[in-house]
Structure 1
Amino acid sequence: MHFTDTYLPRRDGVVTSLRTLHAAQLAAGHDSLLVVPRHREQRTEPGLLRLPALACGVADLRLARWPMNTRGVRERLVAELAAHRPEVVHAHTPGPAGLLGVLVARRTGAALVQTYHTDLHAYADAYKVPRWALRLLLRVYAGRLGEPRPLPGCRTATLTAGNRLLLGDAGAVVVPTRAVLDRVELPVPAERIVLAPTGVAPRAATPAEAMAFRTGYGIGPSDPLVLFVGRVNREKGVDLLIAAFARILDRLPSARLVLIGAVYERRWLNRLLRSVGPAAAARIVCAGQQPPQVVAQAYAAADVFAFPSRTDTQALVLQEAALAGLAAVLADPSLHRHGVLAGSTVLAEPEPDSFADAVLGLLRDRRAAHRLGAAARAAAAAHCPQRYADTVLGVYHEAVRRRSRVSPLEAVAGG
């Protein structure tokens, strides 16, 4: 049973990773159930268990509301899920659904596997989450798990305590790249941490489709095109990218920038566009969230992929761009060094002039960009979806083996 706090119609790296794994498991003949927050636009699909959920007001997330229910209702929900008798519970996120997964694992004695997809410390900083709010969530989590109420602490200590609550029972904690371990000290033994990058399958787009993408947004066939794919949000470094693009235009006036991804803070984005002036803003296309085939066309149409985020733990869009042969510029040294592309990107300082110089270097030297794109493609191709699924299956077997060494009484108690 997989537990996630983010799912379709929302698109992000967690959803992509989860659906890749779920599809591979079903194809291999395993039973695989997804426990997700309910959304009115979700389509019915095999193995989908939907939880009543509420919009939380941040990035279109919908959070399962079960922690707010009465004790009796909560107990019935856990019992209903436990009746599926999972051998493995895999929690992919740290929200209410992930917390529910921990409870189901405790109730059934199933092996618990966690994936640490999200840099919680970076997100808390980006959204300026108040310390009191983090402490309140920590108390709620401790209460639902029947753990002692944690002592007050600073923001970092509070987040670490939350990780300890969620990860403490885990037989294995999957991290998508070494970049996670560069940023966060996970409160689990090192032997239980497993590196398992999500594999991405290439999506082909023809030259005609690439040209149609350009034409559809009024981009000329020879206009140098810089592409960003991801949430157009503050934690993704979009402010850095827009400021850098204004500097690019000073030296390459024909350049265009396309931003593909959901926009959740429209006023914030409009302020950024106003800050660079109307001439620069007119060269920027905000395409919104697009279906996968349109994104593939954008990769084929672009000249450089710009990824200014410093909060991502894997950035699957980097692999997607690489599989299209697109050279990328990053601002995150950990992701550059330890990401799946293993240095086959250009690293810039996280300030506008440096980032602009790096992008311009690739736009002006097409041979260098082609060589870098080819190296990135080779690195990304080594991490296919099947390799990811096989690695995670091995993680499950090891977690079950570890769990089997625990006595049945301890397993039911979560201990």
Structure 2
Amino acid sequence: MRITAPHILHVAQPVEGGVARVVTDLVAAQLATGLRVTVACPEGGALADALRALGCTVIRWDATRSPGPRLPREMWQLSRLVRKVRPDLVHAHSAKAGLAARLAVHGRLPTVFQPHAWSFEAADGLVARLALGWERFGVRWTARVVCVSEAERRTGERRGITAAWRVVPNGVDTGRFRPEGDGARSGDAPLVVCVGRLCRQKGQDVLLAAWPEVVRRVPGARLVLVGDGPDAERLRRGAPASVEFAGAAADAAPWYRAADVVVLPSRWEGMALAPLEAMACARPVVVTEVDGARESLPPGHAPSCLVPPEDPAALARALTALLRDEPLRAALGVRGRAHVLVAHDLRHVTDAVTDLYRELLGGTAAPVVGPYEGRKCITT
């Protein structure tokens, strides 16, 4: 008798940056284990092309990044896609896909929602209240909410979201991100690298505000911003000559390896990938105290590597201290690489998510409750 593997439908928006990398890595691992995988996402960005290169079936879903007047049509289109694909389970990534997918599926299939940082933290005023209200309401059609850090889960609980939670920390490919060479370096000047989408969330404006003080205390220091995004032109205006805008990079690993220090001054996160990638390359990191940051660092990591968000003075002090202390940078790099190998290897993440699917689809002894009770699917 032929055994049929479960069919997973991932729904993703956005299609670039960290969410796209998480989805791509997860799909690659699931295809390798024999799961049937389809992804619904917009064209453009990096995601669709990367998935097709893996041999994954990609279905175009015309969705904007933020909710708006097109949402009813996007939800209707996604409902049609679900009926056509006939998946066993839907896994929605980030706020927009989570909103549309849960409205489209409406609890008829096991639905996993992964926020990748809460949408209500990205907004203010009425928009933030509406986003929070939706997240509280939408859990009724959610089999599991997958958070990438305990801090992200606690933020949800603290804001009144009562969900069936699963925490699966982010992971990175420790074979791809490893200490090897310094191919992106040009010259011997101290080099700070920031990898991330150029947008308010990632806080590059705070870093640029801190940078003059770093250069004053560490003459000759250089800063490279790797990435692109909606704030690119604004950030370039008035940036000093010691700051380079490298644009988006298909592979950020050479930049991590070239750096003396990697920094990510985010205003909010679930658990950022860039610090994990940098530590996998044995580079010290400076990050802001947002969701997932403390959990991503090794236990006992230097307290100075964790600074308050939106505090240019504290950020400048932390960067200056590391740039002036080469032995500390080396020790932190070794410790960071060892920590990622144990706690944030990509294989652990993909195994944990696939185990969750099996649990929801009745492939383990774990009970399946709610509207999915009694649904059967043979797992690999």
Q: Please tell me the TM-score bracket, short chain as reference.
A: 0.7 to 0.9
Alignment partner of 2:60 out of 45, 50, 55 = 50
Alignment partner of 1:37 out of 42, 59, 69 = 42
Q: Which runs of 5+ in 2 are unaligned?
A: 1-8, 376-380
Query: Cα distance 1:236–1:272, how it changes in 2: closer, same or farther (>3 A)?
Result: farther
Question: Given the alignment of the two structures, is residue 311 of structure 1 paired with residue 311 of structure 2, yes or no?
Answer: no
Q: Secondary structure at the match of 2:36?
A: coil
Deviation at 1:225, TM superposition (A): 0.4
Matched residues, number: 352
Task: Point out the more displaced range, 116-125 or 314-323.
Answer: 116-125
Aligned to 2:185: 214
Query: Cα distance 1:81–1:244, how it changes in 2: closer, same or farther (>3 A)?
Result: same
Aligned to 1:69: 73
Question: Given the alignment of the two structures, is residue 114 of structure 1 paired with residue 122 of structure 2, yes or no?
Answer: no
Alignment partner of 1:159 out of 107, 113, 131 = 131
Aligned to 1:236: 202
Question: Given the alignment of the two structures, is residue 78 of structure 1 paired with residue 79 of structure 2, yes or no?
Answer: yes
Question: Given the alignment of the two structures, is residue 347 of structure 1 paired with residue 306 of structure 2, yes or no?
Answer: yes
Task: Point out the more displaced range, 348-357 or 336-345.
Answer: 336-345
Instruction: Select the structure that is richer in helix.
Output: 1
Q: CA contact under 8 A between 1:226 and 1:306: conserved in structure 2?
A: yes
- Please tell me the residue identity of whatever aligns with 1:198: N
2-side partners of 1:242 and 1:375: how far apart?
28
- Please tell me the residue identity of whatever aligns with 1:2: H
Larger Cα Rg: Structure 1 or Structure 2?
A: 1
Alignment partner of 2:256 out of 259, 281, 299 = 299
Query: Cα distance 1:341–1:114, how it changes in 2: closer, same or farther (>3 A)?
Result: farther
Q: CA contact under 8 A between 2:179 and 2:282: conserved in structure 1?
A: no
RMSD (Å), alpha carbons: 2.9
Deviation at 1:315, TM superposition (A): 0.6
Counting only pairs closer than 5 Å after superposition, residues 179-328 of structure 1 correspond to structure 2 as: 179-185=151-157, 187-189=160-162, 192-202=164-174, 203=176, 204=178, 206-207=180-181, 210=182, 212-215=183-186, 220=187, 222-271=188-237, 273=239, 281-292=240-251, 295-328=252-285
Q: CA contact under 8 A between 2:93 and 2:113: conserved in structure 1?
A: yes
Q: Which runs of 5+ in 1 are unaligned?
A: 135-154, 274-280
Question: Given the alignment of the two structures, is residue 89 of structure 1 paired with residue 83 of structure 2, yes or no?
Answer: no
Q: Secondary structure at the match of 2:256?
A: helix
Task: Point out the more displaced range, 161-170 or 295-304.
Answer: 161-170
Q: Secondary structure at the match of 1:184?
A: helix
Query: Cα distance 1:31–1:223, how it changes in 2: closer, same or farther (>3 A)?
Result: same
Task: Point out the more displaced range, 247-256 or 262-271.
Answer: 262-271
Aligned to 2:101: 101
Q: CA contact under 8 A between 1:5 and 1:64: conserved in structure 2?
A: no
Aligned to 2:6: none
Deviation at 1:2, TM superposition (A): 0.7
- Please tell me the residue identity of whatever aligns with 2:24: R
Deviation at 1:37, TM superposition (A): 1.4
How big is each residue's C-alpha offset from its partner over 1:136-184, in whole Å with a ceiling of 9 and x where there is no partner?
A: xxxxxxxxxxxxxxxxxxx44x322110233222111110012213433
Task: Point out the more displaced range, 387-396 or 259-268.
Answer: 259-268
Alignment partner of 2:286 out of 324, 329, 334 = 329
Q: CA contact under 8 A between 1:52 and 1:66: conserved in structure 2?
A: no
Relative to the length of structure 2, the TM-score reads: 0.83
Query: Cα distance 1:240–1:100, how it changes in 2: closer, same or farther (>3 A)?
Result: closer
- Please tell me the residue identity of whatever aligns with 1:352: P
1-side partners of 2:118 and 2:191: how far apart?
30
How big is each residue's C-alpha offset from its partner over 1:54-97, in whole Å with a ceiling of 9 and x where there is no partner?
A: xx5xxxx48898634399xx3x75244223222211111221x3
Deviation at 1:348, TM superposition (A): 2.4
1-side partners of 2:373 and 2:334: how far apart?
54
Task: Point out the more displaced range, 302-311 or 329-338.
Answer: 329-338
Deviation at 1:258, TM superposition (A): 0.5
1-side partners of 2:43 and 2:68: how far apart?
8
1-side partners of 2:151 and 2:56: how far apart?
34
Q: CA contact under 8 A between 2:88 and 2:110: conserved in structure 1?
A: yes
Aligned to 2:4: none
Aligned to 1:142: none
Deviation at 1:373, TM superposition (A): 1.3
Query: Cα distance 1:271–1:105, how it changes in 2: closer, same or farther (>3 A)?
Result: same
Q: Secondary structure at the match of 1:52?
A: coil
- Please tell me the residue identity of whatever aligns with 2:191: L
Q: Secondary structure at the match of 2:249?
A: coil
Q: CA contact under 8 A between 2:271 and 2:291: conserved in structure 1?
A: no
- Please tell me the residue identity of whatever aligns with 2:10: H
1-side partners of 2:74 and 2:211: how far apart?
52
Relative to the length of structure 1, the TM-score reads: 0.76
Q: Secondary structure at the match of 1:3?
A: strand
Query: Cα distance 1:66–1:37, how it changes in 2: closer, same or farther (>3 A)?
Result: farther
Q: Secondary structure at the match of 2:335?
A: helix
Counting only pairs closer than 5 Å after superposition, residues 358-369 of structure 1 correspond to structure 2 as: 358-369=318-329
How big is each residue's C-alpha offset from its partner over 1:247-275, in whole Å with a ceiling of 9 and x where there is no partner?
A: 011111110000001132234213452xx
Question: Given the alignment of the two structures, is residue 393 of structure 1 paired with residue 365 of structure 2, yes or no?
Answer: no
